[in-house]
Amino acid sequence: MADLINLQYCYDYTVNQISFGLLLYSHLPAAVIALALGVFILIKAKDLSSVLFFSICFTFALWCVLDLSSWFSFFGSANTLFTWSLLDLLAVLMFFFTYWFLYVFITGKDLPKWQKWAACIVILPTAVIALTGNNLPLYDANICEAVENESLTRYAYFAEAIFILAIAVFAISTYRKTAKGKARKQVFLASIGTLVFLLFFFSSTFLVSLLAESDAWEYVYNYEIYGLFGMPIFLAYFVFLIVRYSAFNIKMFGAQALTTALLLVLGSELAFANSLTDQILVGVTLILTSIVGLILVKSVRREIQQREKIETLAENLETTNVRLLELDKQKSEFVSLASHQLRGPLTAIKGYASMLVEGDYGSIGSEVGEILKRIQISAHDMARLITDYLDVSRIELGRMKYTSERFSMRDLVQEVAKEIAPNIPADKVKLSINISADSIDVVGDRNKLKQVVGNFIDNAVKYTPQGEVQVSLARQNGKARFEVRDNGLGISPQSLAGLFQKFARAQNASKSNIRGTGLGLYIAKTIVDYHKGAVSVKSDGEGKGSTFAFEIPLAA
């Protein structure tokens, strides 16, 4: 067919229709940039998403080269027919690769097989039409262009529209399902960049096709080249994703791209430098820039490696913390179970010892009575210790239960003092009670608050080898204030800050009570906090006594 056309005529016709410079500028830079970025990402990432990204870039670059060649009708009609016939197939493949890539990039998973088969069914008609040459049955020598079979070529636009719709549906549904944050921003940017690129490409080719069919516009194919500018937008979005979010796990793209761009600019200046002086200056600048760029890339690499190491350590620490929390929970459950099982036997020991002391089984000697009293005291202390462990495990497991009732704090404090008084060595410690005559009613768990009051008084007695323990209760600023003051061992400033924490004890506590666990005050604070109150402790130092207090709101 080449001998049937006038090559010089076609050359003149093309030159009069469009500038060769515009053709080259619109096709080659976009193709080269796309292919270069595709190869770069393929080399760096080497995973499915990078392979698909390269496939998009390669298909686009090939489309650009073939489309540019189809404009050069002066190469002969065979060249035009061959290159033009493959354009629709390459475009449809590019749309499919784009959808496949976006799916893998966002989800991290390969496209389901049924979607691949569905895509093959959509692509197959275009492939058959293109490879058989039925899409271009004629060549119009008057305008130096191939004549399309519109009924067949129109299907390619239908296939492209299907892939655009699939991308839009997938992007919207995934964006809605993704939680706000870094991942959602990546979904948004990747989807927008992809859709802008495909819509640019699709709209330009489809509209040009419609206008060509209607003969409403002269040289209508000139405007098809503007669809190629969608590719730089697409690439810009993904370059931003690489730099900002390390897409494709490429960490140093920004530094490498900056260094490469500077070297290219300086290299181009060297090529156009006329005088020897200019060449030397540009050459020296190029060498210095290369050295600085190399240092920059190494510095960025070192920083990235350090950051990745820190991230790995943070992940390991988080995993360890989760494991420790699980172990702590298991420990709490074990302590809860063990404490529960131990309370029964201790209750029996206390009960039988009390019955023996009171003479329920007959009279006993003074020595035996003294031993039984010691058994009672030890069993009481052990039961209290078990109660503390049980309460701590309940607090940790979130199983601490509270009741709510209105009661008198005056009656509660007097009741606790009466229960503790017999166990206080009267010859060593004097217990004084000072309770306001005012009504002091509160709403809360009576038994839990009784436990707090008992703990404060009991601690004061235990840590006062010789002296006085003063217990007071009064109304103060709409609250019930309970206070226990002693002139016992006192507390060092270092111990005061963490005294209400779990297992915390004053440094000198073991001198007077070796069996303490440091749980009583922790439990007391938890109970008072639940009642919207506050605990406090004061001491001027070791040997100067201490004051423990708590406040809770009065009943309305």
pLDDT score at 317: 87
| Fold designation for 405-553 | Heat Shock Protein 90 (3.30.565)
Rounded to whole angstroms, how far apart are CA atoms 343 and 345? 6
Looking at the chain, which residues constitute the CATH 1.20.1070.10 domain(s)?
Answer: 2-250
Rounded to whole angstroms, how far apart are CA atoms 321 and 424? 45
Rounded to whole angstroms, how far apart are CA atoms 431 and 487? 12
Rounded to whole angstroms, how far apart are CA atoms 328 and 317? 16
pLDDT score at 1: 44
pLDDT score at 258: 57
* Residue ranges of the chain whose pLDDT lies below 50: 1-3, 514
Exposure string over 316-342, b if 16+ CB within 10 A, otherwise e:
eeeeeeeeeeeeeeeebeebbeebeeb
Rounded to whole angstroms, how far apart are CA atoms 87 and 70? 10
pLDDT score at 2: 43
Indicate if the alpha-carbon torsion angle 363, 367, 368, 373 is positive or negative. positive
Looking at the chain, which residues constitute the CATH 3.30.565.10 domain(s)?
Answer: 405-553
pLDDT score at 3: 45
**DSSP 8-state code for residue 524:** H
pLDDT score at 21: 66
C-alpha separations of 338 from 332, 345, 396, 485, 554 in Å: 10, 12, 15, 35, 37
The one-letter amino acid at 36? A
CATH class held by domain 2-250: mainly alpha
pLDDT score at 120: 94
For residue 544, give the 3-state DSSP assignment.
Answer: coil
Rounded to whole angstroms, how far apart are CA atoms 71 and 64? 11
Rounded to whole angstroms, how far apart are CA atoms 508 and 545? 12
